[in-house]
Amino acid sequence: MKRHIPNLITLGNVFCGCVATVFAVLNQLDLAALFVFIGIVFDWFDGLAARILDVRSALGLQLDSLADMITSGLVPGIVMFQLLGMSMSGGWNLEFSATPSESMLWIGGVFSPLPFFGFLITLASAYRLAKFNIDENQVSSFIGLPTPANALLILSLPLILMYQQNDLLNEIILNQWFLISVTLVSAYLLNSNIALFALKFKNWNFQNNALRYTFIIVSLVLLVTLRYLAIPIIIFFYIVTSVISNLQTK
């Protein structure tokens, strides 16, 4: 029975991804972000449960990637689709954020495919997850930005729009070139050759996990002080600290 526990947790991630997809399509991006976050928590606990119970399996590996494809691959693509649509149709407002609008794809009576560019994130996520499943070098670390971290990066943008209440940030985020740049950087980071540390604890010893503990503490401080704006800063900090750690190791 215990061998099924991690897979049941992973299915919780799948369910959260399905719910987040519905909310993202309805343009209720704050609720989409909430269920993506819950799904990522499930994603972290399924691996932890598999290690504690010593029931890791090939099935679990495949199921985990399929779950990530929905929660951390499809949903961020839809969110970027919505953001690009908003950037073309007058910007952010609460009424628009609650109801999808056909005007997102029609500018001056002419169809614009730009919002679909956001699905480059979904394509890059699919490619990354497929590579991850056949790569035996990504056990204790990652090569390229993990899809859950990338999903948090993308989903932080509508949360900043809704809750930071900063006109300058809103103007930057809803700039088409900014969103296009974020999409391209996201796709690159997902499939880059940058080695990044994993938040996987084999034990709770501080000396063996100093980098992980430091990252968690700094991240919590940033979240308390900067709220949702902290998320992209944390992702940047994650990449920088990983690169510095790799250079020190070499």
One-character DSSP codes across 45-113? HHHHHHHHHT---HHHHHHHHHHHIIIIIIHHHHHHHHHHHHHHTT---HHHHHS--GGGGEETTEE--
Compute the average pLDDT of residues 145-155.
95
Residue 2, pLDDT > 50, answer yes
Whether 229 is in a domain gets the answer no
pLDDT in tens, 163-206: 988 889 999 999 999 999 999 999 999 999 988 987 766 666 66
Please say whether the dihedral angle defined by the alpha carbons of residues 133, 239, 171 and 169, taken in this order, is positive or negative. positive
Residue 120, pLDDT > 50, answer yes
Q: Give the count of beta carbons closer than 10 Å to the beta carbon of residue 192.
A: 15
Query: What are the start-end ranges of the E strands in the chain?
Result: 106-107, 110-111, 141-143, 195-197
Question: Which of 97-106, 197-206, 214-223 has the highest average model confidence (pLDDT)?
Answer: 214-223
Residue 108, pLDDT > 60, answer no
Whether 34 is in a domain gets the answer yes
Residue 210, pLDDT > 80, answer no
pTM for the full model? 0.88
Q: Higher model confidence: residue 134 or residue 100?
A: 134
Whether 19 is in a domain gets the answer yes
Whether 215 is in a domain gets the answer no
Q: Six-digit token pair at 199?
A: 């938040």
Between 32-46, 82-96, 208-222, the lowest mean confidence (pLDDT) is in 82-96
Q: Six-digit token pair at 198?
A: 């994993």
Whether 236 is in a domain gets the answer no
Number of domains in the chain: 1
Identify the CATH number of the domain in which residue 173 sits: 1.20.120
| pLDDT of the residue at 93 | 52
Whether 205 is in a domain gets the answer no
What is the extent of the structural domain holding 19? 2-197
Whether 41 is in a domain gets the answer yes
Whether 239 is in a domain gets the answer no
Tokens 């900090």: give the residue: 237
Q: Report the alpha-carbon distance of residue 216 to residue 206 in Å, rounded.
A: 12
Phi, psi of 13 (to 5 degrees): -65, -45
Between 1-5, 31-35, 42-46, 188-192, the lowest mean confidence (pLDDT) is in 1-5
Could you give the percent of the chain with pLDDT greater than 70?
82
Residue 33, pLDDT > 90, answer yes
| pLDDT of the residue at 99 | 46
